[in-house]
Amino acid sequence: MQRSTLWLSALFIATLAIGTDEFVIAGVLTTVSDDLSVTAGRAGQLVTAFALSFALSAPALAVWLDRHPRRTVLLGGLATFALTNIGCAVAPDFTTLLVLRVSAGVSAAAVSTTAFAAAAEGAPEGRQGTYLSVVAAGLTVALFSGVPVGTWIAGAVSWRSTFAFIALAAFVAAMMSLTLPRLPGSPSDTLSLVVRLAPLRTMGVLRMVAAIFFCGAGGLMFYTYLGPIAWHTIGDDDPLPLLLLIVGLVGVISVIAGGRLTDSIGPRRARLAIIGGHAAALILNGILVLAGAPMWAFALGIGVWSVFAWALNPPMQASTIAAAPTAAMTAVSLNISGLYLGTALAGALGGVTLDRFGPTALPFIGAAALVAAWLLAAPHIKEPTSAALPRCRAGEALT
């Protein structure tokens, strides 16, 4: 195996581990809540802790770590991430587990930021996009490989073994990252955080970040609590790994479709069509949950929801870049933070909704959030011609 293939694979495995850690709570929620004697809604705050710490720490870490060698930062971040997940595997109570999830979110932000920087800087001339898409694809692949496997491990052994599995993946990535080429950090006069966050003064960027925030809150509320929703609808959560597999497989196809739709009709029309479809899909699933639909109908509803949920980010990223073309990377990073803040709200608000009103309310609350996102995304912003729009790759949908 060539050296470049080896270190690029390390970055892929690193983001695969991060994606699994982020989304696997949806598959182990019921077992965690039962084992630690907390409600499913409270267990859902494990998603909030991870997402909120990721979103709030990512911009500051990007500035602070940018001046340090990539290999050093990546090794440190992966080591911390692995140790944190080992801690999750042996956590004696829910409070300890919640604190460890905060640490996991911070270390995941450091690893993710560094992995993308290393891929861009270490790629051969003219192949930066390819290298970046491979690294970003780890997050997408986690949906149909890491998350179902982690859920299966939880059912076959225990939810603690799932976190041990994630720690092992991070350790493998750390060992493989020793082959990373020597990539120095940026010069010491790196722009300050205030300068980097200048796009926040752009109204178009603010609208897109707010819209992706509500999209994340609405869509991932449904995904996070899919276990309790499935139990209420079909009377069993044993098919959960299969449902998560459907989400991932459909998601990969919809990511590509979202990018092509953006290229063909422009980011504004694409984002409005996808957000509107997302809201409608959540309402459809809400009706299926209320009706106690059979397994085949519920699985079909999950598939329809997945089409819109994972097609969203290509047009949203293109729209954000169009709103701040001179600070594209900063604008996109703010978009990512908005998504993770929405994920945090999904866990928090979804948990309260589940405990107080039951799983039938979750799809409809999520749909309301998507309607708010549609209204925020509706106004026109200055956009480049279709030829100038960034080409959206599959891996970019979750990054």
At 322-377, the pLDDT tens digits run: 777 665 556 666 777 888 888 889 988 999 999 999 999 999 999 999 999 999 99
pLDDT computed for residue 90 by the predictor: 96
Give mean pLDDT, residues 306-335: 74
Q: What is the dihedral of CA 58, 63, 67, 73, to 10 degrees?
A: -10
pLDDT for 244 beyond 90:
no
Q: How far is CA 49 from the centre of its chain?
A: 14
Distance CA 64, CA 62 (A): 6
Tokens representing residue 167 in the block: 């720690």
Distance CA 347, CA 85 (A): 19
Distance CA 377, CA 380 (A): 8
Distance CA 365, CA 229 (A): 13
384 — pLDDT class (breaks 50, 70, 90): very low
Query: CATH second-level architecture of 1-189?
Result: Up-down Bundle (1.20)
Tokens representing residue 261 in the block: 């739709």
pLDDT for 199 beyond 50:
yes
pLDDT computed for residue 280 by the predictor: 97
Distance CA 239, CA 232 (A): 13
pLDDT computed for residue 155 by the predictor: 86
pLDDT computed for residue 2 by the predictor: 58
- DSSP symbol at 239: T
> Where are the alpha helices (H) located in 358-388, listed in sequence order?
362-377
Residue pair 392/241 in contact by the 8 Å Cβ criterion: no
Give mean pLDDT, residues 145-166: 90
> Where are the alpha helices (H) located in 185-309, listed in sequence order?
193-196, 203-224, 226-234, 240-265, 267-291, 295-309
Residue pair 335/209 in contact by the 8 Å Cβ criterion: yes
Distance CA 248, CA 235 (A): 23
Non-local (6+) Cβ contacts of 219 within 8 A are 278, 282, 305, 309, 312, 346, 366, 370
pLDDT for 118 beyond 90:
no
Residue type for position 242 = L
Q: What is the DSSP string of 281-327?
A: HHHHHHHHHHHT--HHHHHHHHHHHHHHHSSSHHHHHHHHHHH-GGG
pTM for the model: 0.73
pLDDT computed for residue 279 by the predictor: 97
394 — pLDDT class (breaks 50, 70, 90): very low
Non-local (6+) Cβ contacts of 120 within 8 A are 128, 131, 132
CB atoms within 10 A of CB 190: 15
Percent of the chain with pLDDT strictly greater than 90: 40
Residues of the chain with CATH 1.20.1250.20: 1-189, 197-399
- Regarding the domain delimited by 197-399, which CATH topology (the fold level of the hierarchy) does it fall under? Growth Hormone; Chain: A; (1.20.1250)
